[in-house]
Each structure stands twice: as structure tokens, then as C-alpha cells.
Chains A and B, each alone.
Chain A
């Protein structure tokens, strides 16, 4: 997030796109609802009528995969209404003229038809967003999990820069990060092309700095991304894997390909707190200590690095992941694997990672954390990003064009399946939440959301089991009839291993971010015949 979570509560206009905030980020959702309570306008872009969409002043229920058309339409309206921030554009951005010319060539009625939303509604939303100087955009995986995910994000950035709604308190572009430490895992370079702090692996000067401390040469060529590894296949490049606390056999797209890879690996080691579906395929399984049994920091969505304190010693014969990694490192002659505490590891992190330069345990212990960039011990951390300048200098406008999703509904597969985290009570592959009695009581089984109109056509009753099929596989799932989804669209979560919804999803991904297109795939529903 470029802003802090707290700032959302005092924004005047909140544009939330591709995020079921109240269910997946409840406390951020609370800040949004507090803002609405105080008079702020809420615009929600989502094909589903989520709880947050019900609270919105305008709900733009677009056809899945038409985000760019919608944002382009809003930008054109902003230009036509003379609501662009000319001063901001001239001083802080570049490449505006080509975008302006492109937008002027677009046909508004055509764009509105592409999205399936009436032009009047888009017009109203565009004017509300552009007229305020305290407008903030929150987005989540509904924007990124498309084959054009990178362009979707660029379109959102274009919209914010066009109206000057960045660089200030209460206005910015806020990607909401899913997992408790997905921000930190990215910051720490659990990514194939960067070193900690987003420093390019291809830059030899940066590699030198790390090599001097690590006392080993670092390969200069970027590695494979997650799906490239898990989809590497029977005779793929990946022969052995070590997996720490992840469950790709439920969470990754097009699961039959993941299964093929895992069944043909020479060796798989998994470290986890439960025997996940992935761990069941392993040759070696390490019992890891849970968050309550170790000390360490995690970084939340607003870049706040916070200390998790140890509450109890590891249960049974479990050990923290850090110990497991260091033991393996020592056995493979990797230098620098002899830290005595996580405090010591953070000292090395702050030495090599400029944005974490001022993160030290004594500071984190005495506060509710510090927000990066925090350059040194005297730096107080950063509440919001891009004040005075963008990371790259000037903000760059880039033309984004609407592109249809990889799969479109056809005769055999006439419905569009959208997947996501579908419940307030469960999390991701639900290994933790399904080991919590009360959460299981609240939401015991996987459900497929379907519109009443479609249920009528297919002669389906609420609570009935159906067979859900795509070009890649099929699952059996119970339906729930609801107006949360539009006709032609169905929705389900991937929380339940009994209904591995990712058997159906496509492995098509955004070419730049390698983010799979979880939000659009074509499916069909069939009544389960009883003998």
C-alpha cells in the first residue's frame, strides 16, 4: 500500500476494485466502512455483489475481465469533463500525450458495452472519483489475477495519476496484500529475480555487496517463478524441491499439471505445521513450529514491520523453520548459517536491505512496528509513499488496451468461473482454519455461488450437488443460490481439499507478473444424476 491503513478512514472517496475487503481484510474493511459512516463516497468495482458492494454508493458490476475497458472509459470521461489534474500531470509525470490521444480515439458506448455497465453509472463514478482530492484506490487479486493483470494495475495507476490522487495523505493506490507476511516474503526476496529490498539480481554491483557478506558467489540469471516450477511437468527442469509452509497442491492453478510434476520429482522435502496435501507427497516432512512457538518479524499490507513474540516453546518435537534451514545450510557447506537468534538475522537484513536499514529489534520491541522505507536508526519510517517523487522519478503513463480473457464462454462451457477466498471464516487452503472447531462450524463445506436465473434454467435447487466441469477437470460441489453473482457467472473458493477447485482453473498467466488467471475460466454445470 502507498498509504497507511489508518488513512483510509479519513478519505473522501474510496474506489475499491477486485477486493472482497470485509471478508478477506476485515480490519481494512472496517476502516472503509468507518469512512463511509463519516460521509465518504464508496465506489466498488466487482463482478460480484459482495457485502462491501452492498454498502457502496455505486457498484460497477463489470463483466469479469473487462477492468481496462472500464478504467479507460472513466479516464476518457474525466478528460471530457475537464477534471484531470493538469498541474500534477505536467510536473510529476511523463508520457501523458500519447495516452490522452489514445483515450480520445475511444468510443464511450463501445467501452460501456464491453463492460456490461450503463454509461451513466460509469460517468457518475468517474466524476465522484476525480472531483475529490482525497480519493484513494484499494485493489486486490481481482485486479491482478488476469492474463492482463500487469496492464490492469497500470490502468489503475493511470487513473490515479490523471487526477493527481497520489503522493498525499488519504490518496494513493493501495494493493491489499493477502497473507500475513506476503509483503515481507517479497521484501526478503523470496522471488526469482531480486535480492532483498527489490535490488535486481542482474546488477553486478548489487550482487558484489551481497557476495561480500555471504562469502559465496550468487548466480546472475533470474530463476523460475512458482508456477514455472510447479508446472515443470514429468521431464521438467525441476528434479528436487524444498517447500516451506506452502500447499501448491491445493493453491496452484490447473492442479493435474502440478500433480504430474510432484509425482515425478526425484525428491521433495516439505516443512509445515500440518500434513498438507503437498506434504503427503513428500519424501521428507519436517514438523515446523507455529507462529506462537518462535520469535520473528512479519510485514503487513501497509509495509509495517512488526515483532511476533514467542508465547510457548515448540510443541512435541517441532523446530522453527529458521533452525531447519540453518541445519540444511551447514550440511551443504553454506557459510553464514550460524545465527543465534532472529534478532541477529535482522541485523544482517538491515545491513544489506536499504529499505529495512533502520529495522532493529530494540526499536521494534518498543513500538507497534515501523513502516518501510526506514533508512537508518534515526529514521521514523514512512507513512505514505511517493511524496515529492516516484521511485523511478516521474510517474509514467502507459496506454493500456482492453483484451479478452484467455477463455471465453462458449457452447460447451457457457459459464464463467471466478475463484477467490470466499469466506470470512476460512483462509487460503484452510490448513489452519479447518483445524479450528468454531470456524469449521460456521462454514463447514465448499459452496458454489450461482444466480437464481441460472439455477432456474438448469433446474437446480439450493443445496443441491452439481458436477462442475472445465476443459481441465471436474469437481462435485454444493450450490448456493444467491444474488451475489450475476447470471452467467459462478463463484467458489479454493479452501476445501475435498473440492479442489483448481482442478478447473487455467494455467494461462500474465506474461510479466506470472500471475495466473484465477478470475476467469469457462465452465459448465451438470446436475448429478441419482440412480
Chain B
């Protein structure tokens, strides 16, 4: 068993949490004693932080809608279809016809990349996230 120090994925407190990893499965979570926020403590969500990671309901494959139904496809197909659709929308109705929502659940690096992609790649400033919700 291995313990990996990370930060809780729920609220804006940002508690230091150890994830207990056994054979590539996260099987437990417990608080860091030295971390300035958690100080050996977690709330009920933090103590159960590991429980959704291996949930049966996790998405496992890229999905593409064919005849009204979402069906598994390869990564390349899903990415090609998406890039193509965004490209077409930009050609047909201009870059401001595309809207992008980033995520307060994703990392700084991912949010940075997504707004860079939106502004420099798609050519629009239509990017926002749920900061007000």
C-alpha cells in the first residue's frame, strides 16, 4: 500500500489529503496532519473522497452520437469529429458562434490551456465557468 499526498477535490478550503493506493486502486483517504488547512481533520466528503473514483458509473470510452444514440468510438474518431464540427461552425457562423465552458473542478493548467485554445485556436473570448453558481 502506498499513500499519495494530494488536495481534496470538493470545496474551496483545499485540505491536504492522502490517498491510499493498493494495486492501482484508490481504497481510502485520510487527512494530512501537517497541512495548514486540514490539520488532521476532514469533513464527511473528504473522508469519502476516494469513493467515486472507481465508481461503476465512470465514463470509460469516448462516445459519439449515431442515429440518436451515444455509442463507444475510438479517441481519434471522437477528436476528429469534434475538431471538424468546431471548424465548420467557425467557418459558417464565425468564431463567436462557439461557446466554451471551463471547469472549477479542473486544474489551473487545464483551465489555462482551455482558455488559450479558445482565444488563440478558436479565435473567440466566449469562455467562462461556474464561478457565479
Contacts and interface: CB of A to CB of B under 8 A. Distances in A.
Interface of A: 5-6, 24-28, 30, 141, 144-145, 176-193, 195-196, 201, 214-219, 221-227, 229, 232, 237-246, 248, 251-252, 266-267, 269, 272-275, 279-280, 282-288, 290-294, 296-302, 304-313, 315-322, 324-329, 331-337, 339, 342, 345-346, 348-349, 368-369, 424-428, 432-433, 435-439, 442, 513-516, 518
Contact of A442 (B44, B93, B107, B130): B44
Given A223-B96, A329-B117, A349-B108, A190 B52 contact: no
Contact of A180 (B35, B105, B111): B105
B99 to A, nearest CB: 4
Candidate in B19, B102, B111 with the most chain A CB atoms within 10 angstroms: B111
A286 B62 CA distance: 5
A266 B14 CA distance: 38
Contacts of A339: 113
B86 A242 contact: yes
Nearest to B24: A312
B126 to A, nearest CB: 4
Nearest to A184: B108
Contacts of B78: 284-286
Nearest to B72: A317
A27 B43 contact: yes
29 contacts: A6-B36, A27-B13, A193-B125, A201-B125, A223-B124, A224-B96, A226-B132, A239-B93, A240-B85, A245-B103, A248-B130, A251-B130, A252-B133, A266-B89, A284-B81, A285-B70, A287-B60, A298-B14, A306-B7, A308-B9, A318-B60, A328-B121, A329-B117, A331-B80, A334-B116, A334-B117, A348-B112, A427-B11, A516-B132
Contacts of A437: 51
B100 A241 contact: yes
Contacts of A305: 108
Contact of B110 (A222, A246, A325): A325
B22 to A, nearest CB: 10
B125 A296 contact: no
Contacts of A348: 112
Given A26-B13, A296-B107, A316-B61, A248 B44 contact: no
B12 A176 contact: yes
The size bracket of the interface on B is: 35 or more
Contacts of A186: 131
Given A179-B104, A274-B57, A332-B122, A349 B12 contact: no
Interface of B: 4-16, 19, 21, 24-26, 34-38, 41-46, 48, 50-55, 57-65, 70, 75, 78-83, 85-87, 89, 92-93, 95-117, 119-133
Contacts of A322: 107, 109-110, 113
Candidate in A224, A272, A515 with the most chain B CB atoms within 10 angstroms: A224
B83 A331 contact: yes
Contacts of A181: 103-108, 111
A297 B110 CA distance: 9
Contact of A291 (B6, B38, B51): B6
B117 A328 contact: yes
Nearest to A287: B59
B70 to A, nearest CB: 6
B79 A237 contact: no
A430 to B, nearest CB: 10
Given A191-B127, A349-B108, A272 B7 contact: no
Contacts of A349: 108-109, 112
Given A238-B99, A300-B14, A311-B4, A368 B36 contact: yes
Contact of A219 (B25, B80, B106, B124): B124
B99 A240 contact: yes
Given A274-B58, A300-B13, A438-B51, 6 more contacts: A27-B43, A296-B107, A308-B6, A311-B26, A317-B61, A346-B109
A280 B65 CA distance: 10
Contact of B114 (A6, A239, A244): A244
A492 to B, nearest CB: 15
Contact of A240 (B51, B86, B101, B125): B86
A24 B11 contact: yes
A266 B45 CA distance: 38
Contacts of B129: 182, 185, 190-191, 226, 246
| 8 shortest interchain CB distances as A-B pairs | A300-B14, A296-B107, A334-B121, A223-B125, A245-B103, A190-B102, A179-B104, A331-B83
B21 A240 contact: no
B97 A240 contact: yes
Given A246-B103, A332-B87, A513-B132, A219 B12 contact: no
B131 A191 contact: yes
Nearest to B2: A311
Nearest to B96: A237
